[in-house]
Amino acid sequence: MAAPPEGPHPERKRRQLYGRRKGPKFSAHQQSLIDTLLPQLHLTPEVGRDPRDYFAVPLHDIWLEVGFGGGEHLLAQARAHPGVGLIGAEPYLSGVAKLLSKLEPAPVPNIRLYTDDARDIIEALPDAALDRVFILFPDPWPKARHHKRRFVQMELLDQLARVMKPGADLRFASDDADYLAWTLERIMAHPAFAWTAASAADWKIRPADQPPTRYEAKALHGPPVYLSARRL
């Protein structure tokens, strides 16, 4: 098997925020997609590089999806917005293989993938590079001793504040009410972000322009909840 490219900081030790990298053994076709199609779409983060340069088509906006799972949402957004570059970060290779199987018969030029820690991308981006960020149904790490492994931390919001343009949207979704409260508490405490809810019921309603994910349909931990914030 050809290993996917490593992140730009293999020598740096930091807290791992995701679980396993692979699920069941790949079929021969899935392995072929990992070996041949993935290298065509995979980006290597370069410090300070304009993210539009990772694409071969002209783009007016760049959106980042952290942990795209099987890629349903990423692919739907890319097809609906051909002028937007979608960067998807997903370390779970079985999910990556599912997305590749959808891209093989119908290539989408405004998608680029990264199969390692999304923080590598965020740290490499220049200032004010992103127009939207999706963090949809991340691992909630429900045990208190594991909360330090949750993706949303104040340090992460500091990094997002640097790379998101003023007015850019941050979209968060979870089926874990505690993680939603955790995230909202940190967003409201951060001076660079504002919660954009217009009513008390907004957290129950998925944004109309945000297609559902396969994981969302399962909602293993409870009803899906949604949070939107704006970079000030």
Instruction: Write out the catalytic residue numbers.
Output: 139
Strands 130-136 and 61-66: parallel
What's the chain's Rg over C-alpha atoms? 17
CB 51 within 8 A of CB 85: yes
N-to-C CA span, the chain:
45
Q: Which residue carries 């599912």 as its tokens?
A: 98
Runs of H (alpha helix) within the chain: 28-36, 38-41, 72-80, 93-103, 118-124, 154-163, 177-189, 214-218
User: Which residues, 6+ apart, have CB-to-CB distance to 227 below 8 Å?
Assistant: 171, 172, 173, 180, 183, 184, 187, 195, 197, 203
Question: Of 106, 109, 101, which is closest to residue 82 (Cα–Cα)?
Answer: 109
Residues 6+ apart with CB under 8 A from 114: 42, 43, 45, 87, 88, 89, 90, 120, 121
Strands 84-89 and 111-114: parallel
SS3 at position 162: helix
